[in-house]
Amino acid sequence: MKFRCPYCKHSYEGEPKAICPNCGRTMAIPGRFKKVTIRERKKAKDKIWREAEKKRREFLFPEVGFRRRPITIFLIIVALAITGAMLCGRVSHISKSPASVVSKDAVAQKDLFVISIALELFRNDCDRYPAIDEGLEALVVNPGIRGWAYNYLTLVKPDPWGSAYCYYVTNNIIKLFSSGPDKIAGTDDDIWPEPLDERDLRSWIYQSEQYAEKVRRHKIIVE
């Protein structure tokens, strides 16, 4: 392989030399031609590792101000965790605000309204309301009553506070309500359904009879 001096352009063969044999000037030998010992190679690796470690520490432990202790990522994470806990507490406090209570009351009113309609449709078909031992489940599954037409409700779910809706019947007069947030019947926070409009009730009964007739015809065809 030939080598050439960058100053006098003299070319020569053999091993690369740091001094040009023609002009005597010092030349830089390419790194791939330098003979590096194992010790020098280890020394270079150690130097690279120290520089990388220094940069890593500067990134993880940035110094703030003069003669102050470094702020670590751990402290930043702790600060963010405390802030998040405070925000969660604030959100929890907001969720218990009167607005959320009012929304639960509205949900209970809507459920009671639907159950009231189902009870009236049940009474129109069976000439009575479900007995206490039958409960509101008689609106979902036929307890063996003559005249029961179809599922008046798909299911009877608990109120927004997790309690079952209260249902009582005496002399064909019903009481239907929710025990409210305190889950105790007979207190001031009980929620009662709005009275049904007579005109709307007649319309619902007519539609129910039409639907019951379709269900009856379908059963006859299937059988």
Q: pLDDT tens for residues 121-159?
A: 888 889 999 999 999 999 999 988 888 887 888 888 999
- How many structural domains is the chain composed of? 3
CATH assignment at residue 160: 3.30.700.10
Same domain membership, residue 200 and residue 183? yes
Same domain membership, residue 204 and residue 118? yes
Same domain membership, residue 76 and residue 181? no
Same domain membership, residue 157 and residue 77? no
pTM for this prediction: 0.51
Same domain membership, residue 61 and residue 48? no
Q: Which structural domain range is residue 24 located in?
A: 2-53
Same domain membership, residue 82 and residue 190? no
Same domain membership, residue 152 and residue 88? no
| Residue 178 and residue 159 in contact, taking contact as beta carbons nearer than 8 Å | yes
Same domain membership, residue 114 and residue 91? no
Pair type for strands 166-170 and 173-177: antiparallel
Same domain membership, residue 210 and residue 133? yes
Rounded average pLDDT over 200-221: 64
Same domain membership, residue 202 and residue 112? yes
Same domain membership, residue 13 and residue 76? no
Quick one: which of 186, 182, 166 has its CA closest to 174? 166
Rounded average pLDDT over 193-205: 79
Pair type for strands 166-170 and 11-13: unpaired
Same domain membership, residue 91 and residue 11? no
pLDDT-based confidence at residue 98 (cuts at 50, 70, 90): low
Apex 17 CA angle, 14 and 22, nearest 5: 90
Q: In the predicted model, what is the mean pLDDT of the chain?
A: 77
Helices (H), the chain: 38-60, 73-95, 98-126, 198-222
Quick one: which of 10, 52, 3 has its CA closest to 32? 3
pLDDT-based confidence at residue 5 (cuts at 50, 70, 90): confident
Quick one: which of 139, 131, 121 has its CA closest to 196? 121
